[in-house]
Amino acid sequence: MNFYVMTLFPDMVINCLSESITGRAIKNGLINVEAVNIRDFATNKYKHVDDYIYGGGSGMLMQAEPVYLAYKHIMESMENTEKTPRVLYMTPQGKTFNQSMAQEFSQEENLIFLCGHYEGIDERVLEMIVTDEVSVGDYVLTGGEIPAITIIDAVSRLVPGVLGKDDSALYESFYDGLLEYPQYTRPEEFMGKKVPEVLLSGHHKNIEKWRYDMSLERTRIKRPDLYEKYLKEHGDGQGKIQRN
């Protein structure tokens, strides 16, 4: 899967995604991340990419031309453009990113991200190239890079092979629509606190039931919104863990 990120801070994107599981996935050729510096497409000798806002107001706006040229450059560099790739503009005005959007995006072969800075980007180029406006939450960040990194991380771990067998996605949060149950490792006792007895019993059925009950209870307490949704989709919660 190919991720193209249009940004003024390419190092931020590449350095971050080169670590840990996404870094391993890049090395193994399972995902490819290209950060395209919008400033490289400035046409003035000072390499300015922003200007004052028509009609007044504070701050500067990113200009349409360098963004458009960066987009054209990406499109021309793509080998397989049978399907026009989605262009995700990172903005707090967008649809709030969630796990089902991550699933949907993971079906794409190519995804293009547009990261704004300053007060935003000239509306005309947004109208021309953007297919989806995406937010990572109801707060305002200094730019779209951290949202793009967040989305690339969440989508990458759904790409087959990216998670090894040791970091299986099977039981993790949001997979069944429930939060994860508590987990413990050695030692059996830490500062007087013991690992729940059932986990030491070796009784797999009881362990599975305990984990399911804990997931259900945690979700009810911490995320009543998800709990209600789960009950609607799975009945009274008396069933087994739903595996994908």
| Residue 214 beta carbon to ligand ADE: minimum distance, rounded to whole angstroms | 32
| Residue 62 beta carbon to ligand ADE: minimum distance, rounded to whole angstroms | 12
Partners of residue 6 on adjacent β-strands? 36, 114
| Residue 112 beta carbon to ligand ADE: minimum distance, rounded to whole angstroms | 15
Residue closer to ligand ADE by CB (options 92, 237) is: 92
Residue closer to ligand ADE by CB (options 34, 132) is: 132
Residue closer to ligand ADE by CB (options 154, 162) is: 154
Residue closer to ligand ADE by CB (options 154, 216) is: 154
Using CA atoms, how far residue 8 sits from 13, 36, 58, 204, 211, in Å, is 10, 8, 20, 52, 45
How far apart CA 211 and CA 199 sit, in angstroms, is: 9
Other CB atoms within a 10 A radius of the CB of residue 134 amount to 25
| Residue 159 beta carbon to ligand ADE: minimum distance, rounded to whole angstroms | 22
Residues that bind ligand ADE (CB under 6 A): 90-92, 135-137, 139-141, 144, 147
Residue closer to ligand ADE by CB (options 96, 206) is: 96
Using CA atoms, how far residue 159 sits from 16, 152, 168, in Å, is 18, 11, 12
| Secondary structure (3-state) at 52 | strand
The continuous run of DSSP H or E covering 47 comes out as none
| Residue 134 beta carbon to ligand ADE: minimum distance, rounded to whole angstroms | 6
Contact (CB, 8 A) for 148 and 87: no
